[in-house]
């Protein structure tokens, strides 16, 4: 009873097919991923008896192979896991810290106040440890079993997707800066066409090295052997190759930085919204922005406001701005910054902040941050962003996403990332090592100011919705700062407007840019509200009349995100939503 999806793709701004796409459904399990081969990898593991965690890790590692324009095998991978048996929901902190030698003063004094492209953006890669940590704690398969699809594609090659070919075409000049990257990702010095067989021999060997270490440690049991696989990356020859290349090429990452790293596992953050609980990762990423947005709009009847009406979109946009103002003022690595978490997530604080939403007028720029400690609408001094350059955001390459629900009701939600164009491929490793340092700040006192051993504030941030203590909808998206905005709209499309997940992800979207962008150099476009052209012209005109500077996206725009979602109905039917903007795929059985 398997139902395939994606009879057509609206990739790279291509015109869509008429009418809604096929709604994929299943009874036993469901997977949705940002690349068809990642979805197939997860399906393969599920058919072999694996659970949602096994399948999610397989899809995540596969994305690091087949989607290198958006994801690195040695990048970031924030994860949420819901365990059906215990009812618990956990986060895995899939982002690593800056090297110990990285300081804000280093960039200010030696690099002209810039965080330059290349090795100097590198943070400790988190995704290999994140996949292994999740697999070790909650999976049932071995690392070798779960990594087999990714290793197979890396070793023997895979046809480059239309979307990836488009992105490599956009980034070809960046790739040419790095000979080790151009040797893999370009063909005769030019961007490869769709269908090009991309082979990643060195990356296949990296995965084999980890699998071999696991095999040699099998006497330590499944969990111990998986840990040996991750140690092969962080403490063995792979780590040596990474550190040696940094030492040779002027990077900052050392073997000590790699050897001392480990991800954190903790209970997920949650809020309630009507009958639902919404879980996110912590303040080391922008995940809590979604919680704050939901708390802010909870005072409105979103169903009664209607879908994509001017008033509904205006209220959502102003709530987004308020949440982003607090992100700008307070979000940072909780191991280095005292984040007023309880206040930021409280309903009382949201009620105070909600008073700043003016239904007849848009904030022309980012509103002032609030006072979460005093539960007041505005902090003393306002934490304004005046003085930031008004630059148009550049549409940085970003991320992918995957989610899985299995027959037992376990759920997995992850947003792996780190494109292969912002830093050189490490020779002998076969991929870029996390250039997520581009999300740091050099402003003294900023909550996300660069510091040794500190994690940058991450944009990738999955979510997982619960209902009655059970997984209802794992969902997420690529898109940088658009992520939480697109997720809010899709969540409401499902919960307030009764859409199927496929309808919900296909509906036209908007995104505000009225805040400093998370990527260096933190572009800022005050008042700009981007909207897909499918949004009714009269709606866009009404938003303009309220003071929004409406900028038009194409009808189907990849910059609006690539949301994937699974809805678990009370009758046991699973429904998958795969965003056609980036060629995602849902598979159900």
Q: Is 380 exposed, middle or buried (0-12, 13-18, 19+ CB in 10 A)?
A: exposed
Quick one: tokens of 358?
């003016």
Q: What is the pLDDT of residue 384?
A: 52
Residue ranges of domains in the chain: 37-265+403-439, 292-395+481-565
- Give the integer Cα–Cα distance in Å for 214 and 222: 9
Count Cα neighbours of 405 within 13 Å in the Cβ-side half-sphere: 31
Per-residue pLDDT 10s for the chain (589 aa) are 222 332 234 444 433 333 446 799 988 999 999 999 999 999 999 999 999 999 999 999 999 999 999 999 999 999 999 999 999 999 999 999 999 999 999 999 999 999 999 999 999 999 999 999 999 999 999 999 999 999 999 999 999 999 999 999 999 999 999 999 999 999 999 999 999 999 999 999 999 999 999 999 999 999 999 999 999 999 999 999 999 999 999 999 999 999 999 999 999 999 999 999 999 999 999 999 999 999 999 999 999 999 999 999 999 999 999 999 999 999 999 999 999 999 999 999 999 999 999 999 999 999 999 999 999 999 986 555 533 444 555 545 679 999 999 999 999 999 999 998 889 999 999 999 999 999 999 999 999 999 999 999 999 999 999 999 999 999 999 999 999 999 999 999 999 999 999 999 999 999 999 999 999 999 999 999 999 999 999 999 999 999 999 999 999 999 999 999 999 999 999 999 999 999 999 999 9
- Is the Cα torsion angle 124, 282, 471, 11 positive or negative in sign? negative
Quick one: tokens of 430?
């076969």
Mark out the alpha helices in 298-398 (DSSP H runs).
302-305, 310-330, 341-344, 347-354
Q: Which helix (H) or strand (E) holds 587?
A: strand 585-588
Q: What is the pLDDT of residue 15?
A: 35
Residue 414: closest CA among 79, 132, 154, 149: 79
Q: What is the pLDDT of residue 398?
A: 79
Question: In angstroms, what CA-CA distances link 310 with 204, 282, 313, 323?
Answer: 50, 32, 5, 20
Quick one: tokens of 24?
């994929």
- Is the Cα torsion angle 172, 178, 181, 183 positive or negative in sign? positive
Q: What is the pLDDT of residue 11?
A: 41
CATH class of 292-395+481-565: mainly alpha
- Give the integer Cα–Cα distance in Å for 347 and 351: 6
Residue 78: closest CA among 400, 327, 338, 342: 400
Residue 586: closest CA among 510, 500, 509, 508: 500
- Give the integer Cα–Cα distance in Å for 205 and 571: 45
């Amino acid at each position: 009873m398997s139902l395939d999806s994606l009879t057509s793709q609206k990739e790279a701004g291509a015109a869509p097919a008429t009418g809604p796409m096929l709604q994929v459904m299943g009874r036993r399990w469901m997977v949705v991923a940002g690349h068809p081969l990642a979805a197939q990898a997860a399906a393969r593991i599920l058919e072999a008896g694996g659970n949602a965690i096994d399948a999610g890790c397989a899809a995540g590692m596969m994305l690091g192979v087949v989607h290198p324009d958006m994801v690195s095998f040695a990048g970031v991978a924030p994860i949420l896991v819901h365990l059906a048996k215990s009812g618990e929901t956990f986060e895995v902190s899939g982002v690593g810290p800056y090297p110990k030698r990285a300081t804000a003063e280093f960039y200010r004094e030696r690099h002209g106040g810039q965080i330059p492209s290349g090795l100097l953006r590198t943070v400790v890669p988190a995704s290999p440890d994140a996949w292994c940590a999740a697999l070790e704690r909650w999976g049932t398969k071995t690392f070798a079993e779960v990594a087999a699809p990714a290793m197979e594609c890396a070793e023997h090659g895979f046809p480059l997707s239309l979307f990836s070919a488009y992105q490599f075409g956009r980034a070809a000049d960046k790739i040419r800066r790095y000979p080790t990257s151009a040797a893999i990702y370009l063909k005769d010095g030019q961007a490869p066409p769709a269908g090009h067989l991309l082979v990643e021999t060195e990356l296949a060997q990296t995965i084999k090295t980890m699998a071999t270490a696991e095999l040699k440690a099998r006497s330590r049991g499944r969990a111990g052997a998986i840990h040996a696989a991750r140690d092969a990356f962080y403490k063995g020859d792979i780590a040596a190759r990474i550190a040696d290349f940094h030492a040779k090429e002027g990077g900052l990452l050392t073997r000590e930085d790699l050897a001392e790293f480990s991800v954190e596992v903790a209970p997920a953050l949650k809020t309630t919204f009507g009958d639902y609980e919404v879980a996110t990762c912590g303040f080391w990423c922008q995940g809590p922005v979604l919680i704050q947005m939901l708390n802010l709009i909870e005072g409105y009847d979103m169903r009664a406001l209607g879908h994509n009406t001017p008033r509904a979109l205006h209220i959502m946009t102003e709530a987004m701005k308020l949440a982003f103002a607090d992100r700008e003022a307070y979000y940072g690595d909780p191991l280095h910054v005292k984040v007023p978490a309880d206040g930021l997530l409280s309903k009382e604080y949201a009620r105070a902040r909600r008073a700043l939403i003016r239904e007849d007028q848009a904030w022309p720029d980012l509103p002032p941050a609030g006072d979460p400690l005093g539960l007041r609408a505005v902090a003393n001094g306002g934490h304004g962003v005046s003085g930031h350059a008004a630059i148009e955001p550049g549409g940085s390459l970003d991320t992918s996403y995957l989610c899985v629900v299995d027959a037992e009701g376990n759920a997995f939600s992850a947003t792996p990332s780190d494109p292969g164009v912002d830093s050189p491929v490490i020779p002998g490793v076969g991929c870029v090592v996390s250039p997520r340092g581009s999300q740091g700040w050099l402003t003294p006192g900023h909550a996300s100011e660069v510091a040794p051993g500190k994690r940058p504030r991450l944009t990738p941030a999955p979510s997982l919705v619960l209902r009655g203590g059970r997984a209802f909808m794992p969902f997420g998206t690529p898109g940088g700062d658009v992520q939480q905005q697109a997720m809010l709209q899709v969540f409401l499309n499902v919960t307030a407007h009764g859409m199927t997940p496929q309808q919900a992800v296909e509906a036209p979207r908007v995104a505000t840019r009225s805040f400093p962008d998370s990527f260096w150099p933190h572009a800022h476009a005050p008042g700009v509200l981007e909207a897909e052209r499918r949004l009714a012209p009269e709606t866009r005109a009404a938003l303009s009349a309220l003071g929004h500077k409406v900028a038009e996206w194409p009808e189907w725009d990849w910059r609006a995100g690539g949301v994937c979602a699974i809805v678990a109905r009370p009758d046991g039917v699973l429904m998958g939503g795969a965003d056609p903007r980036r060629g995602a795929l849902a598979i159900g059985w």
